[in-house]
Structure formats: C-alpha cells, structure tokens
Amino acid sequence: MLKGIPKILSPELLKVLCEMGHSDVLVIADGNFPVPGMKGENTVVIRMDGHGVPEILDGILQVFPLDPYVEHPVNLMELMPQDVGRIETPIWDKYREIVAKYEDRGADAVGTIGRFRFYEETKAKACCIIATSETAVYANVMLQKGIV
C-alpha cells in the first residue's frame, strides 16, 4: 500500500503511467470504443470495467502531468456532423471541471479532434488504452503526458 495514491489507480496502471515519457499518449475509452481495433503494436490495454471515465480521469490527473508545450494536452472526440444538435455531451463539462482542478490552464487545456483522427492518433500514438464501462456517448478522452 502507498499513501496519497488514488485507490482507483491499480498497480498495473500506475506502472504504465510511470513508464510513459513526455508527449506519450494515453486514451481513456468509453464502453463503445473499439479497443481491439485501436490497439497498436506496443499499446497496453488496461480493463477498468465497472468504472466510468470521470472517476478514472480524476484519479489519473492527480499523478499525471499534462504537456505544457501543446495547446490541448487533453482531447475529446468531436461529434460527427449528423450528431450535432441531436446528441448532448454533458460529460464533457465534467471533464473540463476535472481538468481545471489539476491544470493551470484550466478548461482551456481541453480541445476536440474529429472521430477518425482520434482513431488514427490512438492507433499511432497511444501507449495505453484504458477500457471502461462508461455509457455516455462521445466520452473518450486522450491525454498527452507532460513533465514533472
């Protein structure tokens, strides 16, 4: 046991977070995310069934520095054009609140990227994909690690 480590962070996840270097990418995936198809050759998949993205994001950001050298070290998956005005994403407000607790730039550190670019960047760059049971749609989050 360690003091000061959020209980939601498993030893396996802590190891991955610790091994990640500056500019490495981590994806916290909602329950609809096609994890097997997004896994790159060296990507670690960590299952966190039974947990939602907000609680995992909050736990991670307590120990994970965000990249200060990019405009948006946190990226969300944009709505597809046909979903704009039809699907609500209130979970994004939760994400912005969580990021603002740990990041000097506040919610300005959060950006969005298109669905297919999100997939491409996950395949090409993600060191780790965390598979969750999150039921909210468009609830995927991409984090870029900074420095301590």
Active-site pick, 22, 24, 30, 49: 22
CA distances from 141 to 91, 105, 121 (A): 11, 17, 12
Q: Assign 133 to helix, strand or coil.
A: coil
**Catalytic annotation present for 51:** no
Kindly calculate the radius of gyration of the chain based on its CA atoms and give it in whole angstroms: 14
Name the residue among 136, 141, 124 with its Cα closest to residue 59: 141
| Other beta carbons within 10 Å of 64 | 19
Active-site residue identified among 30, 95, 119, 138? 119
* Annotation says 119 is catalytic: yes
Alpha-carbon span 129 to 40, nearest angstrom: 10
Catalytic residue among 58, 67, 95, 138: 67
Our answer to whether residue 104 is catalytic in this structure is: no
Annotated active-site positions, please? 22, 67, 119
